[in-house]
Every structure is written in structure tokens, then in C-alpha cells.
A = this chain, B = another copy of it.
Amino acid sequence: MKHGGDLTEAMARHGGAWQWLDLSTGINPWPWPITPVADDAWQRLPSRADEAALLEAARAAYAVPAETSIVAAAGTQSLIQWLPYLAAPGAVAIVGPTYSEHAAAWRNAGREVIAIDQLCELPREVRHAVIVNPNNPDGRIVDCAGLAAAAATLQARGGWLVIDEAFADVAPAISAVALCADLPIVILRSFGKFYGLGGLRLGFAVAAPAIADRISTAIGPWSCSGPAQRIGAAALRDQAWAEATRAALTQQAAKLDVILHAAGLMLAGGTTLYRLTRHRDALRIHAALARQQIWCRSFDWADDLLRFGLPPDDAARDRLAAALG
């Protein structure tokens, strides 16, 4: 399975007779509390006023400086799909292992993709680079000095540094948004993961105006749904919720770690939205959990790693502990 997120495939393979516990994603299981959306958001084309309100809220939430642009899209995946068609010709280096859709999108667009282990090891022949920061699944973080150095190298080649900050909400200080004004950096911010609303399809690109305009022109008008604009704007303005959620996720991740550790799964990285663990029998454990209708994430590039999302409540945590026991 390419993605961990599609529980319907797990159900098809392992049966769906009773209740699955889906721990295969990095989506916050305690979503921002949505309220019903007014009729006009469903019925009318999304207006420029609604888009402006959304972007204003996103600018504040992500600390985007005035001289830097921000573009909204129907999920960062749609931006990942577009970037290989908009970047200047040339090969791309992708720091990995990481979220597989970056390499897939660049390859599908006909680009040469070179996998690298560290951003500081940029091959001479690449024009662009992609890094997920913090990385998925291992949570590795490259600091702003390292990002700026790589971006400066790519700038001299007329290339872009794409920084996928899909999980940066849990640690906003690591964001490289402040670098975009002077360097050819495209930052992707996912809304659905931290806010627990993956079905809403909302994400953003942050970049200098010339790059952002190219992206905005490519994706065209009305890229976000009306409900995504309304809910996204309200959620992004809710700083109290974001603060409390960051603290709660830290506690929940610690509780999950206790269970994983007790089962002999060694913590190998992650963020507070998912935990990467190592065990020499990882695939056997994955299969055993699946037979008990618990779905976690395995990787085709490592037979000793499993990634777990946060159990949504005590019962789910107890169930995971029992299944691992």
C-alpha cells in the first residue's frame, strides 16, 4: 500500500466486519470543532472576499511577512502536483526517505529525481530540492541556517527549494517562512493534519511574490471550496485552540510512547502527530495488528519500521496495548 491513510483498502484486504482503529495517518484525531457552514458557502462560487479573509488568517497563523506571498489550494497535495510543472527545467534532489508523493509527482512530470540523505549533500547536477521538515516519518529537522544555505546554492542555479512543512504546526519555531523573502523557497503548509480536518482539502504555498504568482496563475480561480475557506479562516484565527492542541498532542504522544515502549517497539523518531518505531519483527506486528483491525503504517523501504498515529481516546489506547501485548 502506497499510503497509510486509506483505511478502506485495509478493510478490503483484512475484512471490515467490525470497528477498525485507524492509526495509519498523521492527522490529529481531535479536530478543530467545526460548526455548520452557512448555505451561501456551499452554493456560491467562493468569493475573493472569503479568499482574502482566509489568507489573512493564514498569514497570521504562519507568521508570513508582508513582503512574502501566500496562495491557498485544495490541499498541499494539489500544490505538490503542480510544482514540477512550474519549476525551471532540471533535476530535483529529494531528501529521504520521506513522503513518497513528492518523488512521484516530479517523476510523473518527466523530471529526474535523485534521492539524497541530507540536504547539505546536494548533488551538482540538481537544480531543485525538496525536503519535508520536520520529516515524515522520522521527524528529522533541518534548521533555518541549513535550509538557507541549500536555498542559496539552488538560487545560484536558478532553482527552488521546496520545504514541505506539513507537520510544522506542532513546532512553529522551525518554520522557514521568514526565509522566503530573499531566497527561492516554496513552503507548503498543510491545514488538515494539525487541525484534524484532512477531508476539507486545504493547504497553502508561501513564497516570494514572483514564485507565488506563478503558482496562483497555474492553479486558477476558485481552487478552495467555500466551506474550506470559511472553516479554514475560523480555525486559523483560533490561536488558543492551537496552543492548547500543541500541548495536548505532546501529552498524547508521550502516552502512546509508553505503550509502544512496553511492547518492545523502540522510538525511532516522529513528531507529536505520529511516532516512528523500530522492531525487527515490524511486519509481523503490522500483520498481527491488522488481524485485530488496528491499522498502522509500514514502509516498503524498511522492514523494521512502523509509524503510529495517536489513539483518539483511552479505549483506543487500551485496545492498542492489548493488541500489542
Q: Hey, which bits of chain A sit against chain B, CB under 8 A? A: 3, 5-9, 22, 25, 27, 29, 31, 34, 36, 39-50, 74-75, 77-78, 80-81, 85, 101, 105, 108, 192, 196-201, 217-228
For A48, list chain B residues within 8 Å (CB).
Answer: 6, 8-9
Besides A34-B42, A74-B78, 16 other A-B contacts (C-beta < 8 A) = A5-B44, A5-B45, A7-B44, A7-B47, A27-B43, A27-B44, A43-B199, A74-B74, A77-B220, A77-B223, A78-B219, A105-B220, A200-B225, A201-B225, A225-B227, A225-B228
A221 touches B9 (CB 8 A): no
Could you list 23 A-B pairs, sorted by A, with CB under 8 Å? A6-B45, A25-B44, A27-B44, A31-B43, A34-B42, A36-B36, A40-B199, A42-B199, A42-B200, A45-B198, A45-B199, A74-B201, A74-B225, A75-B222, A77-B223, A78-B223, A80-B220, A81-B218, A85-B85, A108-B217, A198-B226, A199-B225, A227-B227
A273 to B192 alpha-carbon distance, docked (Å): 35
For A50, list chain B residues within 8 Å (CB).
Answer: 8
A302: min CB distance to chain B, Å:
22
Q: Residue A77 contacts which of B8, B31, B222 (CB distance < 8 angstroms)? A: B222
Q: Residue A45 contacts which of B25, B42, B49 (CB distance < 8 angstroms)? A: B25
For A3, list chain B residues within 8 Å (CB).
Answer: 221
A29 to B22 alpha-carbon distance, docked (Å): 40
> Nearest chain-B residue to A108 (Cβ)?
B217
A218 to B22 alpha-carbon distance, docked (Å): 28
B44 touches A198 (CB 8 A): yes
A279: min CB distance to chain B, Å:
26
A44 to B25 alpha-carbon distance, docked (Å): 9
